[in-house]
Chains A and B, each alone.
Chain A
Amino acid sequence: MIIFNENRSFDHYFATYPNAANPSGSIPFVPKPHTPKVNNLANAHLLVNNPNNSAANGTGATDPFRLDRTQANTRSQNHSYTPEQQAVDNGKEDLFPKFTGRGTAGGAGAFGTNGQVMGYFDGNTTTAFWNYAQHFAMSDNAWTDTFGPSTQGALAVISGQTNGAQNIVGTSASIADGQGGLTLIGDTDPAYDSCSSTSSTVLMTGKNIGDLLNDERISWGSFMGGFDLTLKNANGTTGCARTTFSSNVNGTIVDYSPHHAWFQYYKSTANPTHARPSSVDAIGHTYEKGGKTVDPANHAYDLEDFYAAVKAGNFPAVSYIKMSAYQDGHAGNSDPLDEQVGNVELINFLQKQPEWRETAVIITYDDSDGWYDHQYVAPKTASYDPTADQVNGPGLCGLGPQKQPAPKGLSGKPVNGRCGPGTRIPFIVVSPYARTNHVSSTYISQASVVRFIEDNWLRGQRIGGGSFDASSGSIMDLFDFDQDHSHDYRTDALFLDPTSGTAITSPPDEHHHH
């Protein structure tokens, strides 16, 4: 299972891990002994004398600073393809306030300036994720495959790449790939989705992991908050306009975001009308029960369907989860506290299922939101668009087309627009098979999720057509599959309070349906 949250960098959530400030009155976080050191701001000695605290960043110049639980509701930072590259500044990682920073009007100190981008949370706010990391395993070397926002991440985690875009309505957030095609470098809604924009949509012409799973008849599903257009929310909203109120962000948020809807971008795995599955038993399957008629949902469901299917004993082999927007973690429409509630409720639920003993949950992110992260790696996938690419200088992401050609795209020729890796993001594995309080520093990316599914279910088959699944790192280092779990699966569960993120001893009540 993949819970794909939104818009946080690794340092933004783990800058001082495992040590929280624990001011009096906070929800204290006490680290376990022998917690491994991670590559974060504290250990890199970048909490003070940070290179971003320089004149080049103007009024946004600041050292990193702690965001309190009471400051969970922040602005969203700039996370476009080019500004994120400019912030990297050829590896100096010193221009975040200038290029990706955004402040909150009337905010205290740096919070009110572009310096907000240097803010980080600790275990007094992201309590559940810190607890999962202590009890299970996480990576401190996980990256977005490319710079840029949500849609790229949503595509990378199912197909390992973003080349092969095709405009359907208007123009999309894409650039010429240099071979007569397009590479998506921003957020554009998927074509034909009944909730999509009417002025700009795009399709992807390559393959994704869903195609490969279908070929092998492995059950799988996409489960997104807000996807079921037949439901009516408590506030009376319906269809694409279903909304939920969040007191943390003080706003009413539309549940479903088409530009996060991974599989909708591919004709073969789309469910453009959001058709409902023929039955709970059909969830995860290409065919209706009986195996003769093609099921109308085509593997695309609502998050509520996930709960229903698992309760009915029909747990798909591979599940991609997207929370309703108010719980997806994206600053502006969500926040770490609402995100925590959504993630913890789901994981608590899973841990009570008999299938838990053979389940792995990957929690990771679509992009960094532009939040500061100190770590630089030289581009592994080069790109040389004269204006869009800026990591190593104007038009440069990599050592130059001769020394380091751009990787091959869908058509087998080198293509532009996939400058990466982008930014470090959190990556946590919650599973009875996860190592305990383990931190892996093996280089991995969003495409590594695709690779793991291929290695686990598809005998190492690869997507091809320029997908990064073949070149991505392996996440196996986060697991210990040799451990005997035959009689101790209960001890491998960690139930948390959804609001505080702290450990609780007994499993909580059932998930309440929205």
Chain B
Amino acid sequence: MNSRTMWLLGAGLLCLAGAVFAAGTQGLAETSQLGANPNPVRLMRPPVAPLSAMAQLGKEIFYDASLSSSGALSCASCHSPDHAYGPPNDGPVMLGGAALSRQGARAVPSLTYLDRHPNFSIGPDKGDDDNVIDLAQMAAIGQQAARTTKTAGGSGASANIVPQGGLFWDGRADTLQDQALFPLLDPNEMDGGSAEIVADKLRRAPYANRFVELFGAGVLRNQRLLIAEAMFAVARYQVEEVSFHPYTSKYDYWLEGKARLSESELRGLQMFNDPDKANCAGCHTSAPTRDGLPPLFTDHQYEALGAPRNAALAGNRDPSHFDLGVCGPQRTDIPEQTQYCGMFLTPTLRNTATRHAFFHNGVFSTLEQVLDFYNFRDTNPEKVFPRGADGAMRKYDDLPQKYHVNVDVTDPPFDRHPGDKPAMTEQDEADIIAFLKTLIDGYKAEN
């Protein structure tokens, strides 16, 4: 039976909301002395309820450092609740393993705002349909289809046959439950050893009895089930615990008419949404959905942006090593889809201003560097990329030459050329950063 379901497509819903929203930001000039949203909206936040038994169990596991080989790392070590469930350190990646000396492969993503995250798919999401088209088939269609340009407020994102959804920088896990097991077993992270070792620790954990209560006595004897249910509990904790998706930023309250933005923040918002300027909202959706769900600041799609190589990563000492995101090497199921080599998930920008590691390889440590990258990558690449021994500028030096063609050169501001005027002035960048700081949770609204 067809359930006539229309799943959330992230930016896909912008089409309608965008119309209302554009009108909202156009009126800003007249009201900027006040800084209030001229068209306040009602935001639908997720319902808040006490943690279920499942979520309480998940919380215990989330904070259980005994599951790591060092005995010092829990989920919360790298996904710190005091840092928007992102990394608490200043470096590009976190350290793990038995002696806490091994670099993780990539910058630690935040675990916030994943409650509405779709599963990995390629192309328009078809929902729970009987006619399942597999990834390879969809990718083949995508090779022939022209890609639409994504602009803030436009509907380009929903039509694209590109990878979308899924967790990690490469989308290799579909659900929070699947995701949770990777760091637990990764030798560079919690280094849990093996499923046997993890299951054995769970059986002896102080919360072992909760498994029995929730899943019956048989669960302790069935290793696969025990681990799966443990990871389900962790995922459920992340869904129920409100601090994973509080929607309490100054911007949220501004949308609701309960906070005023400063002149700089307002200008930043306009730059952020302006297709001719930064065009950030082309991918980092800034408008509420038509159902009143707060914006997630991501369209959940993948982009190859060609960020510079990070020499601080141990793995990069080998000049033939490349992290290609969707097509590998961490992700292993679609290496033949080379048109996706170099693509990484567009992250939410909520709380991004609290981070010190940006992009998948953590090559940038400040928002100024990130904005410079967007601004100068094509007009003044020498400001962004290094020069080789021969003096030649090495644009896209973190991607093999044959994949440079995958890099996005159509979505503004990446549609510019050397010598063109950069999309943003220094003041524009500063204002955008001021706006990004309004996306930090925990703002105290006026009333």
Q: Are A245 and B54 in contact (CB under 8 A)?
A: no
Contact present for B119 and A105 (CB under 8 Å): yes
List chain B residues, Cβ under 8 A from A70. 52, 54-55, 236, 240
Report if B198 contacts A (CB, 8 A): no
- Report Cα–Cα, A489/B263, bound state, in Å: 63
The reply to whether A236 and B53 contact each other, CB–CB distance below 8 Å, is no
Provide the residues of chain B in CB contact with A312, threshold 8 Å.
none
Known contacts A26-B53, A108-B225, A149-B1; is A252 also within 8 Å of B6 by CB? yes
Q: Does A254 contact B (CB under 8 A)?
A: yes
**A66 at interface by CB-CB < 8 Å:** yes
> Quick check: B128 and A75 within 8 Å, CB to CB?
yes
B426 on the A face (CB < 8 A)? no
User: Does B6 contact A243, Cβ atoms closer than 8 Å?
Assistant: yes
Q: Is B214 an interface residue (CB 8 A)?
A: yes
Residue of A nearest to B49 (CB): A499
Chain B interface residue number, banded = 35 or more
Asked whether any CB of chain A lies closer than 8 Å to the CB of B411, the reply is no
CB–CB B53/A251 < 8 A: no
A244 CA to B7 CA in the complex, in Å?
A: 11
Chain B residues near A21 (CB, 8 Å)? 213-214
Contact of A254 with B54 in the complex, beta carbons under 8 Å: no
* CB under 8 Å from chain A, chain B span 403-432: none
Option from B5, B216, B229 in Cβ contact (under 8 Å) with A253:
B5
Contact status of A332 and B5, CB under 8 A, knowing A106-B175, A108-B229, A234-B292: yes
Contact between chains at B3 and A325 (CB < 8 Å): yes
Whether the Cβ atoms of B229 and A235 lie closer than 8 Å is: no
Contact with B along A468-510 (1 / 0, CB 8 A): 0000000000000000000000000000000000000000000
Given contacts A25-B52, A251-B127, contact A109 B3 (CB under 8 A): no
Flag if A254 contacts B225 (CB, 8 Å): no
Asked if A187 lies at the interface with its beta carbon under 8 angstroms from chain B, I say yes
User: In chain A, residues 237-273, which have Cβ atoms closer than 8 Å to a Cβ of chain B?
Assistant: 237, 243-245, 247, 250-254, 257, 259
How far, in whole Å, are A44 and B319 apart by their CA atoms in the complex? Answer: 66
Q: If A68-B214, A251-B6 touch, does A112 touch B52 (CB 8 Å cutoff)? A: no
Taken residue by residue from 275 to 296, chain B's Cβ proximity to chain A (1 for < 8 Å, 0 otherwise) reads as: 0000000000000011111000
Q: Which of chain B's residues have a CB closer than 8 A to the CB of A250? A: 8, 115-116
Between-chain CB contacts (< 8 Å), 14 pairs: A23-B53, A25-B53, A26-B52, A68-B53, A105-B174, A106-B178, A109-B222, A187-B2, A235-B289, A237-B290, A251-B6, A254-B5, A332-B128, A333-B4
- A359 proximal to B (CB < 8 A): no
| Residues 52-73 of chain B, each 1 if its beta carbon lies under 8 Å from chain A, else 0 | 1111100000000000000000
Contact A253 B6 (CB under 8 A): yes
Residues of B within 8 A of A236 (CB): 16, 290
Q: Are A25 and B47 in contact (CB under 8 A)?
A: no
Q: Count A-B contacts at CB 8 Å.
A: 123
4 further contact pairs, Cβ within 8 A, besides A23-B213, A111-B232, A187-B1: A108-B177, A150-B1, A252-B7, A333-B3
A79 located at the interface, meaning its Cβ lies under 8 Å from any Cβ of chain B in the complex: yes
Instruction: Report whether B4 and A325 are in contact in the complex, using a CB–CB cutoff of 8 Å.
Output: yes
Would A247 and B46 count as touching, CB distance under 8 A? yes
Closest chain-B Cβ to A61's Cβ sits at a distance in Å of 13
Bound: A237/B5 CA distance, A:
14
Cβ-defined contact, A66 with B216, below 8 A: yes
Kindly state whether residue B44 has any CB partner on chain A within 8 Å: yes
Interface pair B50/A25, CB less than 8 Å apart: yes
Q: Which residues of A contact B289 (CB under 8 A)?
A: 235, 245
Within 8 A of A (CB), among B1-21: 1-8, 13, 16
Q: Report the bound CA distance from A458 to B345 in whole Å.
A: 64
Verify B116–A106 contact, CB threshold 8 A.
Answer: no
Known: A25-B52, A26-B53. A235 touches B292 (CB 8 A): yes
Q: Are A109 and B224 closer than 8 Å at their CB atoms?
A: yes
Task: State whether the Cβ of A69 lies closer than 8 Å to any Cβ in chain B.
Answer: yes
Is A24 among interface residues, defined by CB-CB distance under 8 A? Answer: yes
In the bound complex, residues from chain B placing their C-beta under 8 Å from that of A144 are none
Q: Is B231 an interface residue (CB 8 A)?
A: yes
B4-A257 in contact (CB<8A): yes
Q: Which 5 A-B pairs have the closest CB atoms?
A: A25-B53, A106-B175, A108-B228, A245-B291, A333-B3
Provide the residues of chain A in CB contact with B228, threshold 8 Å: 107-109, 112
Can you list, as one digit per residue, whether each of B174-216 has a CB less than 8 Å from chain A (1) or not (0)? 1101100000000000000000000000000000001001111
Given contacts A23-B214, A26-B52, whether A245 and B2 have CB atoms under 8 Å apart is: no
Chain B neighbourhood of A112, CB < 8 A: 228
Contact present for B51 and A76 (CB under 8 Å): no
- Chain A residues lying within 8 Å of B216, measured Cβ to Cβ, are 65-66
Tell me, rounded to whole Å, the shortest Cβ–Cβ distance linking B297 to chain A.
Answer: 18
Chain B residues near A247: list those with CB within 8 A: 46-47
Contact B213 A24 (CB under 8 A): yes
Contact A235 B291 (CB under 8 A): yes
Interface check A299, CB cutoff 8 A? no
Does A451 have its Cβ within 8 Å of any Cβ on chain B? Answer: no
The chain B residue with its CB closest to the CB of A257 is: B4
A360 to chain B, nearest CB (A): 29
A330 at the interface (CB under 8 A from B): yes
Question: Nearest Cβ distance between residue B3 and chain A, in whole angstroms?
Answer: 4
Q: Are B56 and A25 in contact (CB under 8 A)?
A: yes
Q: Are A105 and B55 in contact (CB under 8 A)?
A: no
Interface residues of A in 69-101 (CB under 8 A from B): 69-71, 75-76, 79
B341 in the interface (beta carbon within 8 A): no
Asked if B1 contacts A76 (CB within 8 A), the reply is yes
Bound: A106/B236 CA distance, A = 13
Is B434's beta carbon under 8 Å from chain A? no
Bound: A106/B173 CA distance, A: 8
On whether the beta carbons of B214 and A245 are closer than 8 Å, the reply is no
- A484 CB to nearest B CB, Å: 42
Which residues B219-244 have CB closer than 8 A to chain A? 222, 224-225, 228-229, 231-232, 236, 240
Contact present for A109 and B175 (CB under 8 Å):
no
Chain A residues within 8 Å of B231, by CB: 108
